[in-house]
Amino acid sequence: SQKIEQNSEALNIQEGKTATLTCNYTNYSPAYLQWYRQDPGRGPVFLLLIRENEKEKRKERLKVTFDTTLKQSLFHITASQPADSATYLCALDPPGSARQLTFGSGTQLTVLP
Amino acid sequence: DVKVTQSSRYLVKRTGEKVFLECVQDMDHENMFWYRQDPGLGLRLIYFSYDVKMKEKGDIPEGYSVSREKKERFSLILESASTNQTSMYLCASRHTGFAGELFFGEGSRLTVL
């Protein structure tokens, strides 16, 4: 069955460094992949989308890559700040449905000052 | 400012009570979703609706029902609440069409005693 895994439940990095979060999926080839940010006690907020025919997407300090051979997406935050501390979720469209998304369990990022 | 509004941020109910969680969106979206979120398990889809009066089961529909009488409103119903339904419930909506982002509400944290 289809599975989405995010590399670790928690990641701590120093301010100013680049944070790299990983999303791996199995048994499926999604048409696109999305990344969301979630702050404690709040709903997730959309950040970026990358399509299967795109290798890389950038938005300000964020960069997402999508390797359909490795079945992996990497999410980078450059020049990280304490305000970037949050849980980051990856999501993709499951087989046979263009309407719903399946989410990974998330990686909690803490940027230390 | 586009919005998904969930009626209650925090609820405390007793086992066996009937619980209504309401969600309203102002973006004229066709698709609406109910997820629950638990530590370590991520977001899991309970039900979704792609049109008024239409509904489809998600991954964990047992113990829940839904109602969509108007396009902007999607209700989640727990007919007889149980302690294992203590969770954060998130409503979301999106347009029909390829790769649309999900817009989430702020969440409803339900505790069943």
DSSP state of A52: T
Bridge partner list, B111: B12
Residue A50: per-residue pLDDT: 92
Residue B88 has pLDDT above 90, yes or no: yes
Q: Among positive and negative, which fits the CA dihedral A52, B3, B49, B96?
A: negative
- Nearest neighbour of B41 by CB, restricted to A31, A44, A105: A105
B45 contact residues in A (CB cutoff 8 A): 100, 102
* pLDDT, greater one: A110 or B95: A110
Distances (CA, A) of A38 to A7, A67, A86, A108, B28: 17, 24, 6, 9, 24
What is d(CA A83, CA A96) in angstroms, rounded to the nearest whole number? 37
Q: Is B98 on the interface with A (CB under 8 A)?
A: yes
Q: Which residue of B has its CA nearest to A5?
A: B42
Q: Is B23 on the interface with A (CB under 8 A)?
A: no
Return the H-helix or E-strand segment holding A111.
strand A107-112
Residue A7 has pLDDT above 80, yes or no: no
Question: What are the strands, taking DSSP E only, across B14-102?
Answer: 19-25, 31-38, 42-49, 56-57, 65-70, 73-78, 87-94
- Nearest neighbour of A42 by CB, restricted to B48, B102, B107: B107
Confidence of residue B66 (pLDDT cuts 50, 70, 90): very high
Mean pLDDT of B55-82: 96
Smallest CA-to-CA distance from A87 within A5, A11, A4 is with A11
Residue A96: per-residue pLDDT: 63
Residue A43: per-residue pLDDT: 95
Q: Among positive and negative, which fits the CA dihedral B83, B84, B87, B92?
A: negative
Residue A98: per-residue pLDDT: 59
Give one DSSP letter per residue of B75-100, joined into a string.
Answer: EEEESS--GGG-EEEEEEEE-SSTTP
The C-alpha of B55 sits at a distance from chain A's nearest C-alpha, in angstroms, of 12
For A27-57, b/e burial (b = at least 16 CB within 10 A) is eeebebbbbbbbeeeebbebbbbbeeeeeeb
Q: Is B96 on the interface with A (CB under 8 A)?
A: yes
Residue B69 has pLDDT above 90, yes or no: yes
Residue A95: per-residue pLDDT: 63
Confidence of residue B78 (pLDDT cuts 50, 70, 90): very high
Q: Is B60 on the interface with A (CB under 8 A)?
A: no
Q: What is the pLDDT of residues B2-25, one digit of tens each?
A: 699 998 999 999 999 999 999 999
Residue B57: per-residue pLDDT: 94
What is d(CA A34, CA A45) in angstroms, rounded to the nearest whole number? 11
Residue A101: per-residue pLDDT: 86
Residue A42 has pLDDT above 90, yes or no: yes
- Nearest neighbour of B104 by CB, restricted to A9, A43, A105: A43
The C-alpha of B18 sits at a distance from chain A's nearest C-alpha, in angstroms, of 24
Q: Which residue of B has its CA nearest to A39?
A: B106
Q: What is the pLDDT of residues A47-104, one digit of tens each?
A: 999 988 898 999 999 999 999 899 999 999 999 999 999 999 999 886 666 567 889 9
* Token reading at B60: 């964990």
Hey, what amino acid is at B26?
A: D
Q: Is A36 on the interface with B (CB under 8 A)?
A: yes
